[in-house]
Amino acid sequence: MTIDLWYAIVGSIIVALSVFAFLTSRHLMKKLLAFNIMGSGVFLIMVGLPQHQHGVDPVPQALVLTGIVVAVSATALALVILRRYVRAGGNPAP
Amino acid sequence: MTPILLIIPLAFAILTLLLPRNWARATIIPGLVLQVGAAVLLCIQIYHDGPQDYALGDWQAPLGISLIADGFSVTLLALTSLVAALCAVYAQYFLTRYPREQRYFWPLFWFLLAALNGIWLAGDLFNLYVGLELLGLSAVGMVALTAEKTTLKAALDYLYAALFGSLAYLAGVALLYGAYGTLSIVQLSEMAAANPTTQVALGLMTVGLLLKTAIFPLHYWLPPAHGGALAPVSALLSALVVKASFYILALLWLDVGALAVTVNAAQAMGFLGAGAIFWGSWQAFQTRQIKMLVAYSTVAQLGYLMLLFPLAIGVSEAAAHLAWQGTVLHLLAHAFAKAAMFLAVGTLVLALGHGRINDFGGVSQRNPVALFAFGLSAVSLMGLPPSGGFNAKWLLLQSAIASGQWHWFVVMVIGGLLTAAYVFRVFRVSFVQTAKHDIQETHPALQFSALALALMAIGLGFASEIPMSFMNLTDFTPSPGGSP
Amino acid sequence: MTLLMYLLHQVPLPLLVIFPLVLVAFVHTNTVRRRGWMLIAAPIPMLLALLLWYGYGQPEFVTEVPWLMLGLHWRIDPALAPILLMTTLLWTAAGTYVWQQLRSGGAEEPHIARYLRCWLLTLTGNIGLLVAGDIASFYTLFALMTFAAFGLVIHTQTKNALFAGKVYIVLAVVGEGLLLSGLIWGAAHAAAGELTPTAPLLTHLPGAIAASAQGVWIALLLFLGFGVKAGLAGLHWWLPLAHPVAPTPASAVLSGAMIKAGLVGWLLTLPLGEFAAGGNFASIASLAVILGLVGAFGAAIMGVFAKKAKAVLAYSSVSQMGMITVMLGTGWLYDAAWEAVFAAIVVFSVHHGFNKGVLFFGVGWVGALSGRAATLILVLLLIPALNLIGVPFSSGEYAKDLFKAVIADLPVGLLYPIFSAGALATTALMLRYFYLLRKT
Amino acid sequence: MTTLLPVFVLATSLITAVLIFVLPERHIRLRIGLNLTAALLKIVLVAVMVAGIANQVDYEFRYELLPGIDLILRADALSMLFAGLSSVLWLFTTVYAIGYLEGAPNRSRFFGFFSLCVASTMGIALAGNLFTFLIFFELLTLSTYPLVVHRGTEESLKAGRTYLQYTLGGGAVLLVGVALMYGLVDQTGSMTEFAETGTLAAIPSEQHFTLAVIFFVLIAGLGVKAALVPLHGWLPIAMVAPAPVSALLHAVAVVKAGAFGIVRVIYNIYGVEFAWQLGVLLPLAILASITIIWGSLRALQQVEVKKRLAYSTVSQVSYIALGACLFGPVGTIGGIVHLLHQGIMKVTLFFCAGNYAETLGIHKIKDLDGAGARMPLTSIAFTLGAFGMIGVPPLAGFISKWYLGIGALDAGMSWVIGVLILSSMLNAGYFLPIVYRLWFKSRREPWPDEHIPRGRFETHGLLLWPTVATAVFSLAAGLFAAHAWSPLSWSSLIAFREYLP
């Protein structure tokens, strides 16, 4: 059991927790936060799982980097829409 | 040749983002011409030279981005260009009433196109992920365009579903990479064995993609999003966007994980499809708003796509081949027909000023072409001949007969009747002579772009040979494998 | 004379038959009262042709038009020619009667144009069916006569007339149905083996029926089907209802000529004579005799209690047709004697046609006249009446003797005296007839 | 040319349909001209093909729709019978419709779908295999729906719904049958092509049960349009449509498409001899007989003219199915010739019903008293049609019954005679009272709603002459039945080719 696998296991736990949060939270902001945490978990798995075989693998690093960019932009978009929604009189916690 | 199809939309996306509004408008037609032209050229090239691989910037996989253009992907590319082009023509006239929305529509439109093209051409699972995310974000942006409370809510729901789905997918990708050390679809399809890791990975990805494809019972986000968006947006979303995630799903089940999937799982997917057909049709039959009707119709029609899995997995090669052909044809026919239907409905709503089906009286006199387009696309959706939808249904039925799966046979036949039940609700009222209020004339371009798409759906019934011959270029026939 | 001979051979029979049909087109409501002559003119061509035909020694006279209907084959049948002659003469006479009525303005009722049209149509059918030699056209003309005669029956449009019309049409439709099934069934056997049966000739029918395993049933269908028209006991109900209400000349042709169409149908289609050899049809033949006797005497009893002279005559017709049915049945049973019986039937029917016609006219004349003239007519009417009864030296006696001569040699038991007793029945009816006439 | 002629025949009405849809509502004259030109052109083309068929020319057009499945348009003797009927009646119905709809709204839509409907009928006539037949069969459903609901009233919308429920359901059942046929029996695509003596006789006997099942599935699908009891419910309800539609629908298009399909399945797919061996003909014959009697009984109870005619159609169309079930050439001739005979007679009757409704506002039978004097030509036409339906010679209906009767006896099914005669009597029972009212009752009160005053003719000329023409046809078809160019002779040709390969 390497340290990398620990990353993956911790990542899975984070994912599991955040999925629970995502599904049970009503507030849209909370959901967004849960999504971000979930993303972190997945990234942990991504860097953690493949590493145990043959040293450092550049591919997961690159993938995670891309993933983070995507997640950030998605969060930004979600925030914009959420703000608009609230301004338009929408209830953020339906 | 291949990367041009990514470069063009991206370039125009940036162009339309940067240029002033009027200039941006002027770039649309050249952009569309370039895009369609490039797709057609690629089709011709593939037809002559066979499938091609292309490594972007000469960076080889796994770090580089590899593009694969085979018969299937060029078919989808051509479909995308055609549908998008007509939707764009429509949007040009439709959006004159929405100046603010117009500003953001075009960049999003081009990004959407780039994402779709990227997905069709992607050769590895991670590129598919990137494509999916880009697609999801631009689609959500388009839904949110009008910035009304309801559409914003729909956009948010859509966004969360898309994000959740993407992460589930990404987790699966991570597992697969951890197990096999590659993301290339070609390599994975040779390596992926029927072990728990693969199956868990596939399960995660499947759930994510089902959510993105809005397959019953995970379809909750689709009707408000598709029904609430502007007409050209709905058309693009229903015709193309949901197909992208289905495409990946099919790739996973029939190619990447062909050795890992089980017949029972495939049957379960079929039951989801059947549920979608019945539930979607029932909801479409119940709803009062015409756009919701069309949106629920999408839910139902997506169910037919899911029948691919039980019909193609664990059966004879001939039956699987039929199922595959039928599904592809259904995908194409539905894309044309549903785009046409949303555009036609958009025109009618524009003319009437509302979308209440029961108050559609008199619409046939003032907007006959739009109504006719609606009718033609409905013919294809109902699977009545002559239409692409009918040919697709025929092939699927033949596949069900060939593999002796009578339950799917029955589902498809009943599904056709249910479709008829809800589309004829619209025709019924359209024959009422007396209009309850004013009906405006609409721009002919709006009516005729819808008609052109509808005619393509019908014409596909006579030209099914073309996509089929492209399909035969790919050796992508689902393998008869699958452990019980 | 050669010219006439030429005409006789070249003028096709259909033209003679169609002529009255063409006249129908010229009947208009406004001019109808001046067009009474049409009714006289209508049967004249056929009458002339028939006389010529007799004059030239009854040569073979056949017209075939293979492309018309299911192949038209029309001929003058020498055996039936007397009935044809009687029919044309009676129609001419009755036409003259109507013409006279129209001229004197006697027929003031409305619908006179319709009356004339129906008259001409009925006439076409009645005369035509006697020359039709193929099944299809025979049935066509028979149906034309049947349906057109409805217009004659209900012409006066009184309540009774409408009721009579209803009974008439129901029985007629039933009769047509029985007839058509019999004809088709028979024709199927006559045409067996052919890929496309054009309608077979009537002359093929008896043989085919005799050869068929279900021949008895086919014969029964035909017997009953024609029996409606021939006033067969049990199917005769329309006669006493229709005759009193129909206009006098119409009653005359109805009773004199049309009723014989049913008889002609029997003669042409039933497997009589040599085809009955072997006794296959003994059951129906016996039925014919029994029904004939029931008709002959039953109608007489009913007739005596009738309230109108024309009803009496109608019952008399049923009675007389009953006697003919007895003759037919007897001839059917004893196939060797059929030739002679056939001759007797033809003579009897011609005799009955003329005399009954005159008696009907008499009702009209007596009604129209008064005083001495009426009495004179009454006296003159004794002649046809006595003829019908069959007093010595009358046509009736001649006709009956022909038959009696035949059955005298046959083992028919009581039939001979019973048949002779028919004269009593007729006498009773005639007495009643004169009684009622005098009262009016 | 021999390849494209069937396509041209189809195109004459298809292109007309498109042009009419494109043409704005106000171009009345242009539309009329277009319609009539196309109708005449089609008749000419059909005539050319009829002459060709008589001389054994093959007209065939083939186009691969799906791998192994062709769209085939082919002219054989049977298809020309139906095509000839449709093309001639299209002309008359168009003329009639022009008169009937004068001044009405939505004429562009009406005539467009009308042409489309005829195009589908042509496609059905010329279909060379089951698949092509199915395509046009469904197209017919779609193109007739707008005609049924044309008036847009609540009643017609309701009727349209019922119509769809039946016909789309029937279409789905037919689809099932055809799909089963292709999937289970015919892997090569050649056995579902219509061939003159059938294609299935060589199938091994273990598949016979499957074939029998498929047969009844196909019949159930076709039976909806052919209005076989108990699938006939749509027909009387669809009577709310305008009279030309009822005339075309009932005489030619929809019901005939069903009946024609039954004939095709029996003769050109199964082959009558094989079907007879399979034992599927007797049940169908019994069903057809029940329909004949039931339709007549229901017709007796109707008080509206068009409803009575509708039930009469239910009854009469089954003669065709019955004839097809009689194993033997004569029965075949009877069934096939009735396809045409019933068409012209029933179209006459519906034209007349339309004339009474349009001219005098008469919808109920009891209002017909004395109409003969007011509208003599129409009433003569009605009388001819009615007597033809009863089977009185020398009208067309008699010829049909004659051949059906003899055919039944040849096939050893003598009980059919009883059915025929009973039906004739019931026909008489519901038609003679109408004829009686027309001619023998006199008018006391004014007409319910007199639209068209008595002018030079009793009604609008465009309404009158098509009626008279079809009435003359139904007389001529019987009168000249033995002529070489009569429908009867043509049907005999078909029967010859079926039984003597």
Q: Does A60 touch chain B (CB under 8 A)?
A: yes
For the stretch C169-209, pLDDT in tens is 999 999 999 999 999 888 888 876 666 666 788 888 898 88
- The residue of chain D with its CA nearest to that of B459 is D65
pLDDT of B346 over the 70 cut: yes
Over residues B187-215, the pLDDT tens digits come to 888 888 888 888 999 999 999 999 999 99
Report which residue type is found at B402: A
Nearest chain B Cα to A28, which residue? B156
- CA dihedral of B283, B284, B286, B290, whole degrees rounded to 10: 140
A18 touches chain B (CB under 8 A): no
Cβ of B58 under 8 Å from any chain D Cβ?
Answer: no
Is residue D146 less than 8 Å (CB to CB) from chain B?
yes
Chain A residue numbers with beta carbons less than 8 Å from the beta carbon of B159 are: 74, 77-78, 81
Segment holding B168, helix H or strand E:
helix B149-180
Q: What is the pLDDT of residue C197?
A: 61
In terms of Cβ atoms closer than 10 Å to its own Cβ (0-12, 13-18, 19+), residue C413 is exposed
Nearest by CB to B177, from A60, A66, A84: name it.
A60
Please provide the size of chain A in residues.
94
For residue B452, give both structure tokens.
């052109």
Interface probe, candidates D21, D142, D144, D162, chain B, greatest B C-beta count within 10 A: D142
**C299 Cβ contact partners less than 8 Å away, ≥ 6 residues apart:** C233, C236, C315, C316, C318, C319, C322, C425
Q: What is the pTM of this model?
A: 0.90
Residue of C nearest to D479 (CA): C69
Q: What is the pLDDT of residues B17-50, one digit of tens each?
A: 888 877 877 888 889 999 999 999 988 888 888 8
Q: Is the dihedral of CA B173, B179, B180, B185 positive or negative?
A: negative
CA B383/CA B391 separation, integer angstroms: 8
Confirm or reject contact between D168 and chain B (CB < 8 A): yes
Task: Pick the closest to residue A46 from B166, B177, B184, B198 (CA basis).
Answer: B177
Residue B318 has what pLDDT?
86
Q: How confident is the model over A58-85, as a mean pLDDT?
A: 88
Banded model confidence at residue C25, pLDDT cuts 50, 70, 90: confident
Cα-trace Rg, chain C:
21
Q: Among B70-74, C138-142, D7-11, which stretch is predicted with the lowest mean pLDDT?
A: B70-74
Task: Give Cβ neighbours of residue A55 (< 8 Å, ≥ 6 apart).
Answer: none
Q: Which of chain B's residues have a Cβ under 8 Å away from the Cβ of A50?
A: 174, 177-178, 181
What chains are in contact with A, requiring at least 3 Cβ pairs below 8 Å? B
Residue in chain C lying closest to D393 (CA): C140
Q: Three-state DSSP class for B315?
A: coil
Which chains form contacts with chain B, at 3 or more CB pairs under 8 Å? A, D
* pLDDT higher than threshold 60 for residue B477: no
Q: Does C114 touch chain D (CB under 8 A)?
A: yes
* Residues A35, B183: C-beta atoms closer than 8 Å: no
What range defines the domain where residue A38 resides? Answer: 3-87
pLDDT at position C226 over 70: yes
Q: What total number of domains does chain A contain?
A: 1
Say if the Cβ atoms of A59 and B144 lie within 8 Å.
Answer: no
Distance from CA of A64 to the nearest CA of B (A): 10
User: Which of B357, B399, B403, B431 has the highest number of chain D CBs within 10 A, making it the mutation to test binding with D?
Assistant: B431
Examine the pLDDT at C3 and tell me if it is beyond 70: no
Among chain D residues, CA nearest to B402: D183
The values of phi and psi at residue D149, to 5°, are -95, 15
pLDDT tier at A37, thresholds 50, 70, 90? very high
Span B64-70, average pLDDT: 80
Say if CB B463 and CB B392 are below 8 A apart. no
Q: Do D142 and B379 touch (CB under 8 A)?
A: yes
What residue segments make up the domains of chain C, in order of their start?
Answer: 2-439
Q: pLDDT (tens digit, 9 = 90+) per residue, D211-240?
A: 999 999 999 999 999 999 889 889 988 888
**Chain B residues whose beta carbon lies within 8 Å of the beta carbon of residue D144:** none
pLDDT at residue C192, rounded to an integer: 66
C-alpha span between C243 and C153 (Å, rounded): 8
Res A49 pLDDT > 80: no
Q: Check whether B141 has a pLDDT greater than 50.
A: yes
CATH number at residue A69: 1.10.287.3510
D168-191 pLDDT, tens digit each: 999 999 999 999 988 888 766 677
CA distance C365 to C383: 15
- pLDDT for residue D322 is more than 70: yes
Q: Is A63 on the interface with B (CB under 8 A)?
A: yes
Question: Chain D partners of B420 at a C-beta cutoff of 8 Å?
Answer: 164, 168
Report, as an integer, the average pLDDT of C403-408. Answer: 87
User: Is A35 in the B-facing interface, judged by CB distances under 8 Å?
Assistant: yes
Q: Return the pLDDT at B483.
A: 35
Subunit contact A88:B152, Cβ cutoff 8 A: yes
Distances (CA, A) of B112 to B13, B31, B78, B79, B105: 9, 14, 15, 14, 10
**Residue C6 neighbours by CB distance under 10 Å:** 10
Cross-chain Cβ contact D150/B431 below 8 Å:
yes
pLDDT of residue A53: 56
Inform me whether the C-beta atom of residue A64 falls under 8 Å from chain B C-beta atoms. Answer: no
Q: Is the CB of residue A36 less than 8 Å away from at least one CB of chain B?
A: no
Nearest to B417 among D106, D160, D168 (CB): D168
With contacts defined as CB-CB under 8 Å, which chain C residues touch D392?
Answer: 140, 143, 147, 176
Return the minimum-mean-pLDDT range out of C18-22, C358-362, D100-104.
Answer: D100-104
pLDDT for residue B67: 84
User: What's the number of CA atoms in the CB half-sphere (13 Å) around residue B156?
Assistant: 28
State whether A82 and B156 contact (CB < 8 Å).
yes
Tell me what percent of the residues of chain D surpass a pLDDT of 70: 99
The answer to whether the Cβ–Cβ distance between C151 and D440 falls below 8 Å is: yes
Is A in contact with B (3 or more beta carbon pairs below 8 Å)?
A: yes
> What is the C-alpha separation between D239 and D258, in angstroms, rounded?
18
pLDDT of residue D314: 92
**What is the per-residue pLDDT for C356?**
92
Confidence grade of residue B479 (pLDDT, cut at 50, 70, 90): very low
What average pLDDT does the structure give for chain B? Answer: 87
Q: What's residue C10's pLDDT?
A: 62
CA distance D4 to chain B (A): 17
Tokens (6 digits) for B261: 């999937």
| pLDDT recorded at residue C109 | 64
Q: Which of D338, D144, D177 is nearest to D244 (CA)?
A: D144
To the nearest whole angstrom, how far is the Cα of B433 from the nearest Cα of chain D? 6
User: Can you read off the two tokens belonging to residue C36?
Assistant: 């009474």
The residues, ordered by sequence, that sit 6+ positions from D466 with a Cβ below 8 Å of its Cβ are D92, D93, D95, D96, D351
Is residue C181 within 8 angstroms of chain D, CB to CB?
Answer: yes
- What residues contact residue B432 under an 8 Å CB cut-off, 6+ apart? B360, B361, B362, D152, D157
* Contact B402/D at CB under 8 A: yes
B149 vs chain D: nearest CA distance in angstroms? Answer: 38
Contact list, C147 vs chain D (CB under 8 Å):
387, 392
Which chains share 3+ C-beta pairs under 8 angstroms with D? B, C
Statement: residue B484 has pLDDT above 50:
no
Local structure of residue D229 (DSSP, 8 states):
T
DSSP-based three-state secondary structure for C64 = strand
- The residue whose two tokens read 């010679």 is D393
Nearest in space to D429 (alpha carbons), one of D295, D254, D296, D336? D296
Which residue out of B321, B394, B403, B405 would a mutagenesis test of the D interface target, given it has the greatest number of D Cβ atoms within 10 Å?
B394
Extents of the domains making up chain D: 280-501
Residues of B in contact with D207 (CB under 8 A): none
Q: What is the mean pLDDT of residues B134-144?
A: 92
Distance (Å) from the alpha carbon of C267 to chain D's nearest alpha carbon: 22
pLDDT: is C320 or B385 the higher one? C320
Q: Which of C139, C173, C188 sits opposite D406 (nearest CB)?
A: C188
- Higher-confidence residue of D65 and D189: namely D65
Q: What's the whole-number mean pLDDT along residues D123-139?
A: 92
Which positions in chain D touch C197 (Cβ < 8 Å)? Answer: 330, 403, 406
Number of residues in chain D: 501
Neighbours of C369 (CB within 10 A): 14
Residue D482 has its nearest CB partner, among C66, C151, C173, at: C66
Report the pLDDT value the prediction gives residue B478, as an integer from 0 to 100: 47
pLDDT at site D494: 85
Q: How confident is the model at residue B397 (pLDDT cuts 50, 70, 90)?
A: very high
Band of pLDDT at residue D58, cut at 50, 70 and 90: confident
pLDDT of residue A17: 92
Chain C neighbors (3+ CB pairs < 8 Å): D
**A9 found inside a domain:** yes
In the block, which residue shows the tokens 């009569």? D486
CB–CB contacts below 8 A, C to D: 104
- Which of B175-184, C41-50, C164-173, D154-163 shows the lowest per-residue confidence on average (mean pLDDT)? B175-184
* Phi, psi torsion values for C132, nearest 5 degrees: -70, 130
Of D64, D139, D151, nearest to B465 by CB-CB distance is D64
Give the model's pLDDT for residue D239.
Answer: 87
D24 touches chain B (CB under 8 A): no
C109-112 long-range contacts, CB within 8 A, separation 24+: C109/C155, C109/C156, C110/D442, C111/C155, C111/C157, C112/C32, C112/C33
Inform me whether the pLDDT recorded for C211 exceeds 50: yes
Question: Please, where are the H alpha helices in A25-94?
Answer: 28-51, 58-87
Check CB contact under 8 Å for C195 and D495. yes
